[in-house]
Amino acid sequence: MALLAVAGGTGQAGSAVVLEALARGYEVRAFSRRLPPPAAAVEGVEYVVADAATGVGLAAALDGAEVLVDALEGRGRAAQRAFPEAGRRLLAAAHGSGVRRAVMLSIAQCDQIGFGYYRSKVAKEKAYDAAKVPTAVVRASQFHSLLAELFAYGSRFRVVPSVRRARMQPIDVADVARALVEAAAEEAGGHTLRTVSGPETRPVHDFAQEWKTAVGSTAGIIDLPVPGRFFSEGRNLAPGTAFGTTTFAQWLESHSGDSANLS
């Protein structure tokens, strides 16, 4: 079976891609700036050190790979500024190594708002659109885990934060991984763009109540106003893009024994 390389293969999305690719019979090589601790390593996966920001180790990490899934993140201002260039460096290395297709994880509706993190994703998408190797960009809506982290953080202060007049369509990271690996397997040339979201679109307040019930929190839900019209106008939503099959309630149930993910 073909070798699939995962950039950022030790992060949340990258780790899910590793598992999905293995399940589909791929040989898998995961690379990041640091090797995972032995307890976190997945059997059958080759882990190597490489850094897209500097280019160190990229040629070796991509040697022999047929497809690349880029699940790298750019957190923090410095990382966001370097994010597009890191993407171009990664794509150049992929082209030089003979990778036939590169797939990037992006954010749903990232071109609809001026947040720095979103702008960095748009800039990197442009690098993928201009790449010499055929590419696919998969935009995903917010992960279930992001909502849980938001609610859990606020609950430390006895409130569960919601967003006034906002709706979301969160998705399980495992479903996102499925979309990324499917995109990697496609034979289409050129450059493609797809958005995937979860199976339900509901007010954030509803998700907050589900989280409270799941963890037994007694904190009150507070609907916070957010400057601008991005959420109130629903510009964060991507109608008609439902792909995931796991609802937020189902995700909470499946993680009920993992307190680190819920509270």
CATH for 35: 3.40.50.720
184 within a domain of the structure (yes/no): yes
The encoded tokens of residue 205 equal 């307040």
Per the domain annotation, does 106 fall within a domain?
A: yes
Is 47 part of a structural domain of the chain? yes
C-alpha to C-alpha distance for 135 and 41, rounded to whole angstroms: 28
In-domain check, residue 261: no
Sign of CA dihedral 132, 133, 134, 140: negative
Is residue 259 scored above 70 in pLDDT? no
Inter-residue contact 27 to 12 (CB < 8 Å): no
- The count of domains in the chain is 1
Reported as type and span, the H/E element at residue 181 is helix 173-185
Residue 96 forms part of a structural domain: yes
Give the pLDDT band of residue 263 (cuts 50, 70, 90): low
pLDDT interval class at 54 (50, 70, 90): very high
How far is CA 16 from each of CA 156, 172, 211, rounded to the nearest angstrom?
28, 10, 23
Q: What is the pLDDT of residues 79-135, one digit of tens each?
A: 677 788 999 999 999 999 999 999 999 999 999 988 888 899 999 999 999 999 999
3-class state of residue 47 by DSSP: strand
Question: Is 81 within the bounds of a domain?
Answer: yes
The answer to whether residue 205 sits within a structural domain is no
258 occurs within a structural domain? no
Q: What are the start-end ranges of the H helices in 63-143?
A: 77-96, 116-129
Q: Tell me the pTM.
A: 0.94
pLDDT value at residue 73: 85
Confidence band for 227, pLDDT divided at 50, 70 and 90: confident
Which amino acid is located at 173 in the chain? V
Strands 220-224 and 101-107: unpaired
Sequence letter at residue 181: V
Q: Does position 10 have pLDDT exceeding 60, yes or no?
A: yes
Whether 71 contacts 8, CB under 8 Å: yes
Q: What pLDDT does residue 79 have?
A: 67
Q: For residue 74, what are the domain limits?
A: 3-142+171-198+235-246
- pLDDT tens, position by position, 145-202: 999 999 999 999 999 999 998 999 999 999 999 999 999 999 878 999 999 999 999 9
Q: Which structure tokens are listed for 228? A: 């601008």
Q: What pLDDT, on the 0 to 100 scale, is given for residue 261? A: 53
pLDDT score, position 121: 94
